[in-house]
Amino acid sequence: MLGVVNLDKPVGPTSHDMVSLMRRLTGTRRIGHAGTLDPLASGVLPILVGAATRFSAELTGGGKRYDAMIRLGGRSETDDAEGTIEPGDGPIPGRDAVRTALATFVGTFDQVPPAFSARKQGGRTAHRAARSGTPIDLPARSVTIHAIELLAFIPDAEGATLRIDLRCHAGTYVRSLARDLGDRLGSGGYLSALRRTEAAGLRVEDAISPERLETLAANGRLADAVLPVGALLDLPHVSVDPDAARAFANGSPSAIGGGRADGRRAVFAGGELLGIGALRGGVLQPEKVLPPGEAR
């Protein structure tokens, strides 16, 4: 079995829990995912099955979309609702001030990851160091946010809750955005709920629940949930003839003719994905090759 399952992860389980579920249902250890979701988060979790794990970097590295709830008027040690919440020390801003502040985060900028995250430094994992009382001073990383839309602003006696539609590039921490937005507004802020609505070309409207996967597996129809990985690779496609396909499968370069721009390509033969190659001067050099019999 080779491909990607568009899994709708519920709130509660870890991403690794979902990988374990697929390992149990498929009977194979070769299962991964493309982009971790915290236990607090739900939504699209692309599960990579079989040799599709070879394309983890390509499927993880694209754009993502989130439906996020941010609470103003408090701060959290984990930057989300799972940590200890301390009240904020500033006034709660109005809708217009929130919308103006959100706009300042659109673009490319440096963002400090949450202290409770899976980032590593000096061989130490940030969340483990934070829980032991010796948090790591994580360096800022460049991230890109493409768009933020304020969907709702709900004030109350103790603060305000925002709902936003967020489009961003891989590597962006929504928890950090909530924290930094609260700091910029002076009220404090943290992420209270998160649902990923798009990732790796997959949409939450088409996602399958764990319960549905269990039912499909019980009926011998688990393969119905597995999507072809080639359709999800965000790379230009190139189709090659049988001779070039054999060379590619053997890891050998082949001339496929000029007239094409240099760059990485998803390589197909007869409609089946062979892997990823680099095209330079009309010569296709294999980079990632699917094992014989696993092309799809």
pLDDT in tens, 175-195: 999 999 999 999 999 999 999
Contact 232, 33 (CB under 8 A): no
Q: Measured between alpha carbons, how far is residue 3 from residues 72, 194, 204, 234, 253 in Å?
A: 41, 26, 18, 15, 26
Active site residue 89: no
pLDDT of residue 259: 75
Q: Where in the chain is the domain with CATH 3.30.2350.10?
A: 3-62+201-230, 64-196
Domain covering 3-62+201-230: architecture = 2-Layer Sandwich (3.30)
CB of 186 closer than 8 Å to CB of 160? no
Domain 64-196 falls in which CATH fold?
Answer: Pseudouridine synthase (3.30.2350)
Class of domain 235-289 as given by CATH: mainly beta
Average pLDDT, the chain: 92
User: What pLDDT, on a 0 to 100 scale, did the predictor assign at position 128?
Assistant: 67
Give me the pLDDT at residue 62, please: 87
pLDDT at residue 215 greater than cutoff 60: yes
Which one of 8, 17, 38, 234 is the catalytic residue? 38
Q: What pLDDT does residue 58 have?
A: 94
Predicted confidence band at 293 (pLDDT cuts at 50, 70, 90)? low
89 pLDDT band (50/70/90 cuts)?
confident
Q: pLDDT per residue over 104-115, tens digit each? A: 999 999 999 887
Structure confidence by residue, pLDDT tens digits, 46-61: 999 999 999 999 999 8
Q: Which residues in the chain are classed under CATH 2.30.130.10?
A: 235-289
CA distances from 113 to 126, 135, 145 (A): 9, 12, 15
- Separate counts of helices (H) and strands (E) for the chain: 7, 19
13-28 pLDDT, tens digit per residue, is 999 999 999 999 999 9
pTM over 0.75: yes
Residue 162 phi/psi, 5° resolution? Answer: -110, 145
Q: Could you give the percent of the chain with pLDDT greater than 90?
A: 82
